[in-house]
Amino acid sequence: MNKKLFGFDVDKQWDYENGFYLTSHLTRLPKMLAHYELYKSIINLPGCIVECGVYKGASFIRFATFREILESPFSRKIIGFDAFGEFPKQDEKTDAKFIQEFEGAGGFGISVDELKDVFTHKSFENYELIKGDILETIPEYISEHPELKIALLHIDVDVYKPSVTILNNLYEKVVSGGLVVFDDYGTVAGETQAVDEFFDGKDVQIEKLSISHIPSYIRKK
């Protein structure tokens, strides 16, 4: 029987790759290149890669791949926070509507076990997947790991409350020169509001690379 990963047939990988190039929106490849450029800029810094919002694992696997080709599996840990299943519901109207449309279009996220199978298939090591509502898992993780240092924080949870929790708990863990990368700034209301409120009055510049309008990022002073 053909090996399957999250429902994908490993023997059809060339078809999937061709399908990506033939069908993907013009913005998808530039976003991957932007992540690559941003990753290259943190390789001399200490600290983990932390992704908040893993969904089906695409950007998490991307960062793990960049670590593999630019550094080494043990240069830094990659940590992913997500519900790993259903998108946690929100009361706020705009966020609730966003979640309904998002799940309607793309379905539920990958499970922890399925993503671990993918990492085993790719021979990736030195990673951690933290399942649950970020409103609880991030403060818990910080209290258990007060020494956490972050070189690159990728925020991609779309909605307001988890974005606030992430910024309140993890921004201070980002090392000087490190990056906070926003997938949804200026495009999704909840995350945009959280970012604007958190950085209001702070001396930071939200930047973009010329090759892609997503992501935006801040380089911490």
When binding is defined by CB under 6 A, the residue of 58, 70, 96, 211 that contacts ligand SAM is: 58
Stated as kind and residue range, the H or E segment containing 204 is: none
Beta bridge partners of 8: 5
By C-beta, is 68 or 133 nearer to ligand SAM? Answer: 133
By C-beta, is 11 or 122 nearer to ligand SAM? Answer: 122
Q: Determine the Cα angle at 33 with ends 73 and 176, to 5°.
A: 60
Residue 95 lies near ligand SAM (rule: CB under 6 A): no
By C-beta, is 46 or 96 nearer to ligand SAM? Answer: 96
Phi, psi for 148 (deg, rounded to 5): -55, 130
By C-beta, is 72 or 100 nearer to ligand SAM? Answer: 100
Distance, in Å, from the CA atom of 83 to the CA atom of 86, rounded to the nearest integer, reads 7
In Å, the largest CA–CA distance within the chain is 58
Q: How far is the CB of 22 from ligand SAM (least distance, A)?
A: 20
When binding is defined by CB under 6 A, the residue of 50, 152, 153, 157 that contacts ligand SAM is: 157
Stretch that binds ligand SAM, among 2-10, 82-90, 120-128, 202-210 (CB under 6 A): 82-90
Stretch that binds ligand SAM, among 5-13, 47-55, 145-153, 174-182 (CB under 6 A): 47-55
Beta bridge partners of 4: 9
Tokens of 17: 């790759």
User: Rg for the chain (alpha carbons), in Å?
Assistant: 17
By C-beta, is 151 or 159 nearer to ligand SAM? Answer: 159
Distance, in Å, from the CA atom of 215 to the CA atom of 191, rounded to the nearest integer, reads 13
Distance, in Å, from the CA atom of 90 to the CA atom of 63, rounded to the nearest integer, reads 28
Q: How far is the CB of 134 from ligand SAM (least distance, A)?
A: 4
Residues that bind ligand SAM (CB under 6 A): 53-56, 58-59, 82-83, 87-88, 109, 133-135, 156-159, 162
